[in-house]
Amino acid sequence: MASALTVSVVSADQEVWSGEATMVIAKTVEGEIGILAGHEPLLAILAEGEVRVTQASGSRITAQADDGFLSVENNTITIVARNAALV
């Protein structure tokens, strides 16, 4: 099992953030979801809310994303939102 996730947060006109992380917590339309390395491929619609990314160093990054979706595959997480910004 790979130890880290590659995360990128992308908005319509730029890549907001990208890097390595150990855990990602996002809010989908069905509820909150936490993703660790080795998660099965997933495609989910995001509800308006925060996406919290825990980096390997333990520090946290919070991004505001609305109107978007989240895709997970091969330990690569892409959070795509029309409007996304780091908080």
**Least Å distance between CB 24 and other proteins?**
14
Among 6, 23, 44, 50, binds other proteins (CB under 8 A): 44
**Coil, helix or strand for 35?**
strand
Using the rule CB under 8 A, which residue among 4, 12, 56, 86 binds other proteins? 12
Distances (CA, A) of 3 to 6, 28, 86: 10, 24, 24
b/e sequence 24-49, b meaning 16+ C-beta within 10 Å: bebbeeeeebebebebeeeebebbee
6 binds other proteins (CB under 8 A): no
Kindly tell me which residue out of 40, 57, 58, 59 binds other proteins, with binding defined by CB under 8 A.
40
Contacts with other proteins by CB under 8 A lie at: 8, 10-15, 28-30, 33, 40-45, 67-69, 71, 73-74, 78, 80, 82
